[in-house]
A and B are shown apart, each in its own frame.
Chain A
Amino acid sequence: MINGNLKADYSADERILNNRNKQFFVYGSMFFLTLFPVFADDYAVLMACKMGILLIAVIGVNVLTGYTGLISLGHGAFIAIGAYSTVIFSNLFDGLPTGILPFVVVPLAISVSAIIGIIVGLPSLRVKGLYLAVATLAASFIVKFLIEQDLFSPWTGGIVGIDTPVPNILGWELDTKREMYVLITVLAICTMLAAQNLFRTRVGRAFIAIRDRDYSAEILGISLLRYKLMSFAISAGYCGLSGALGAYFYARILPDQFGLNLSLELVAALIVGGMGRTLGPFFGVIIIMLVPELIKISMSSATGGSLDWARYTAPVQEIVFGLLLVFFLLKEPLGINQITDRMLRAINRWPFARG
């Protein structure tokens, strides 16, 4: 059936969940997420936490790449900055009561990430596209390199990594994965909502304008300097939050965790999910995290867990990762979000028309 979308006033027309399907999907997912830790086993919770952490970062990259059209291949570095800032500030403010420490440390970590994001974003004023991609790539190599240096190892632990604190929120110590799941899920939903809000206002529209045609945005009074840097700051801030959660989630962090692969994974998840779409990161992260896992499980059950075959798993995962990326770019450039949209539209119109 075709659902009527009658609106009585402008505010109804401007809502996010402006039709039934969307409401059903969103409330359904939230219900599922609430029940999830009750029936899921430890391993599923673990995976869900990892996905949540990655999701926040991908939402950030979506703001920059999907909406503002600035390519970054180095956002893993901001996750690193968020994670390391969390550890460094926690050690620095050792004297504070542990229950309020995260409320000081995490905003600081996000700010540091955002500020460094602005610095890395500076070339974006002069260079575009490819040059920016390589500039961010270069910046991320440099950040990782600096973290590894002996010079900073008293703070960063250098190449051998550093132990991380256990988060304590007003006396609630989150020392199990299930407790972390609650924190991560709540934050992931909030950040997603915040990103969506952004695009209901002038700020988000300005980003899209810059992506589509930057000179024409400029004559509308959108300062490229201000908004490009703002976009960098937001995306870096999101990655900083993701890093902070990562630091709390893992008991120890190593510089190697934040290498090129992480940066590429962020962009890949975005492409697979759907760039410039609210739910794109959500779908993308699910695919990027689950597909390798499924390959591993299916390969190991197919070969009876034989060690001779185990060494083919990683290459196969790698190849599939590449193929996924290429497939979506060539065949479905708007990602899974586009596929789900098509499905929703088909359901909406059924039985009248297809497509």
Chain B
Amino acid sequence: MGQFTQFAINGLMSGAIYALIAVGIVSVYKATKVVNFAHGYLIMFGAYFYFTFAVIIPGQEWAPEWLASWKPSWMLEMRKGLGMFSPLGAVLDWMANIPRILLGLVGAVSCNAILGRVVERTLMRPLMGQSVFAMIMVTVGLISILSGSASLIWTADAAFVPHIAPNTPIRFELFGTMIFLFGADIVNMLIALLIFGGIVTMVKFTKAGIAIRATAEDQSTAYSMGISVPKVFSNAWVLASTTGAVAGAILATRNGISPSLGLFGFSVLAIVLMGGLDSYVGCFIAAMSVGVLEAMTQWKMGGEWAAIVPYVAVLVVIIFRPHGLMGQKEVERI
């Protein structure tokens, strides 16, 4: 039981990050009807931008010293005598990193926003009105472009990035088993859930949300209502790429940074389809259940089996519910 709880919590934590990634795919789909196969690669760019602003730039000679490591005297005082991995020590070590973490996040979010806008302008806008197939394949082409560019820009150097939150270990006993949790993971989960909730509220209850929903339902009619559809499109892409940047930063701290981060996009795509492409709630449920299922598989069957959990799950769901758990059924006009 204790073990179960441990892995359930682990699953929920990764589920929340899946949800954060999924929100980008769903938002872009809702607004533009494009399913972004390359979303994972936007996230990878977010991760690399975070790395650039949180590690590379503070490490430059011209960068002020406090940027790389902010250590006022009172902090050094407190740090003295604490073990390397003591809880307070971890918090203090994190605080020293705050300037570069902030720079990293701001840099990642703004660069990714620009990237999202550029992608939307150059590749997606000409696609308005094209077939589903063309849309899918353009994003598939985008995968190659993004992943190639990433390896051109960031040489494949081993990279380590600072955690967004203090990574204090949390240990407690439950049902006779020791439960281990990372502080940073819990904060990451909260960040992911807050962003997710914020976006859903925005779409449900604001006038901007009405524009998105109207565009989702009928692009050209939305246009003829005076809603600037291109603006909605580009906002959706910016929304996706900025949430992707946060997700990328989190993934970079959690799993290490590498071009293979892009592959996350595919499992999340499976999750999104499982939940129903246009349903935030469905995707949330799917993300959380896949997260938990994956953790359980990891526990019982080992790492490599966990990798195919989202794919098996989506196939099972699609066979019984062709439009996902909560997806809108497309009404066919005959």
Contact = CB atoms under 8 A, between A and B. Distances in A.
Is A–B contact present in the complex under a CB 8 A cutoff? yes
Interface string A303-336: 0000000011011111101111110011001000
Contacts of B147: 318
Nearest to A271: B137
Contacts of B226: none
Contacts of B323: 127, 131
A319 B41 CA distance: 13
B158 to A, nearest CB: 15
B311 A322 contact: no
A87 interface: no
Given A130-B132, A316-B148, A330-B127, A135 B137 contact: no
A312 B315 contact: no
B75 interface: no
Contacts of B149: 315, 319
A134 B134 CA distance: 15
Q: How large is the interface on B (under 10, 10 to 19, 20 to 34, 35 or more residues)?
A: 35 or more
B314 A138 contact: yes
Most central of B126, B137, B152 by chain A CB within 10 Å: B137
Given A126-B319, A135-B318, A322 B334 contact: no
Given A317-B148, A318-B147, A319-B148, A326 B142 contact: yes
B308 A329 contact: no
B321 to A, nearest CB: 9
B249 to A, nearest CB: 23
Contact of A127 (B145, B155, B318): B318
Contact of B322 (A126, A141, A315, A316): A126
Nearest to B263: A260
A4 to B, nearest CB: 37
Interface stretch (B16-24, B185-193, B228-236, B269-277): B269-277
A97 interface: no
Contacts of A315: 148-149, 151-152
B152 A145 contact: no
A322 B144 contact: yes
Contacts of A65: 133
Q: How large is the interface on A (under 10, 10 to 19, 20 to 34, 35 or more residues)?
A: 35 or more
B82 interface: no
Contacts of A325: 137-138, 140-141, 144
Contacts of A149: 304
A317 B307 CA distance: 28
B175 to A, nearest CB: 33
Name the prevailing secondary structure of the B interface residues.
Answer: helix
Contact of A330 (B132, B138, B155, B318): B138
A127 B315 CA distance: 11
B134 A329 contact: yes
A322 B145 contact: yes
Given A131-B318, A142-B311, A215-B332, A267 B137 contact: yes
B141 A139 contact: no
A146 to B, nearest CB: 9
Given A131-B273, A133-B136, A323 B315 contact: no
Interface string A240-281: 000000000000000000001000100110010000000000
Contacts of A126: 318-319, 322
B214 interface: no
B152 A123 contact: no
Contacts of A134: 269-270, 273, 314
Contacts of A139: 311, 315
B30 to A, nearest CB: 14
- Highest count of chain B CB atoms <10 Å: which of A73, A141, A314: A141
B155 A311 contact: yes
A129 interface: yes
A137 interface: yes
Given A315-B148, A323-B145, 16 more contacts: A73-B140, A126-B318, A130-B132, A137-B269, A137-B270, A138-B315, A141-B308, A215-B332, A264-B140, A311-B155, A314-B148, A319-B148, A321-B144, A325-B140, A329-B138, A330-B127
Interface of B: 35, 123, 126-127, 130, 132-134, 136-138, 140-149, 151-152, 155, 266, 269-270, 273, 277, 304, 307-308, 310-312, 314-315, 318-319, 322-323, 332, 334
20 contacts: A65-B133, A127-B323, A129-B132, A134-B270, A134-B314, A137-B266, A137-B269, A138-B311, A138-B315, A142-B315, A268-B141, A319-B145, A321-B148, A322-B141, A323-B145, A325-B138, A326-B141, A326-B142, A329-B130, A333-B130
Interface of A: 65, 71, 73, 122-123, 126-127, 129-131, 133-135, 137-139, 141-142, 145, 148-149, 215, 260, 264, 267-268, 271, 311-312, 314-319, 321-326, 329-330, 333
